Chains A and B, each alone.
Chain A
Amino acid sequence: MNEVSTEAGLILAGILFMLGLISVLIRRNIIFMLISVEIMLNAAGLAFIVAGARWAQPDGQAMFIFIVTMAAAEVSVGLALILQIYHQIKTLDGDAATKMKG
């Protein structure tokens, strides 16, 4: 069942993380940035699971649960913030919110 090598799992996690990173950097829309962060978090959790499976211990999964919890809290607060920003500047452009310039 588990002839999946750890390296392959980690590399998969790495690739997914990179894709998420690229997406964060190239998108201007705030909601897309949030989605990309989710991708990255997911990839990190995958890495934890792979590590936990390698040692056959539940620690990796416990970590993953914490990560998911945090991701949920983050998304809820983030979306609330996005609602506020949209209400203030009427656009979803990330580059428009530059009041902290300089």
Chain B
Amino acid sequence: MEATFYIAAGVAIISTIMVITSYNMIHALIYLIVSFLSIAIVFFVLGAPFIAALEVIIYAGAIVVLVIFVIMMLNLRDETVRQEREWLTKKIVIIPSVLSAILLAELIYIVVNMEPMAHPTGTTVDSKQVGLSLYGPYVIGVELSGILLMSGIVGAYHLGRQKKKVVHRFLEKIES
């Protein structure tokens, strides 16, 4: 099972790198889906099958699709590819990479130098346990998530509206 983990991890990393370096939005999104799928495999290996399914359904299936739909609505053409070529130069990668590398190094240092952690136990935590925990101690979180989603819906609806300019019908006659 270890090998599965490492292979999936490798695929995730490579596809994420492809996401961040591709010029075309749709290509980037496809690579993102691949990355999510490999993460789902990692979840599965770690004994969280319910979450693995959830990752695929919600993350890969809903969110990315939403982004694709919006890109389609924006009616972008090849100009974006050209823009990306123009904006994504080799030069601007340097400083962010350096900073992030420093952060990563610190993170690995912390993780590695902590007291040796026990290996995870081999048990699978299945959906029943997750459900019991969600509606048990974390029920408040569930309620809040509901409210959050509702506000998300309302916000998305309101912000996404395009108001048409309304001309009074009397004035319409004058215009024409």
Using a CB–CB cutoff of 8 Å, the interface residues on chain A facing chain B are 1-12, 14-16, 18-23, 25-29, 31-32, 34-36, 38-39, 42, 46, 49-50, 52-62, 64-66, 68-77, 79-84, 86-87, 92-93
- Which residue of chain A has its CB nearest to the CB of B141? A66
Asked if residues A32 and B12 are in contact (CB atoms below 8 Å), the reply is no
Task: Give the size range of B's interface with the partner.
Answer: 35 or more
- What per-residue 1/0 map shows which CB atoms of B95-131 lie under 8 Å from chain A? 1110111011001100110000111111101000110
Asked if residues A79 and B134 are in contact (CB atoms below 8 Å), the reply is no
- Chain A residues with CB under 8 Å of B119's CB are 2-3, 5-6, 54
Distance in angstroms from B16 CB to nearest chain A CB is 5
Query: Residue B160 contacts which of A20, A39, A84 (CB distance < 8 angstroms)?
Result: A84
Asked if residues B96 and A31 are in contact (CB atoms below 8 Å), the reply is no
- Complex Cα distance, B1 from A13, in Å, reads 18
Asked if residues A77 and B20 are in contact (CB atoms below 8 Å), the reply is no
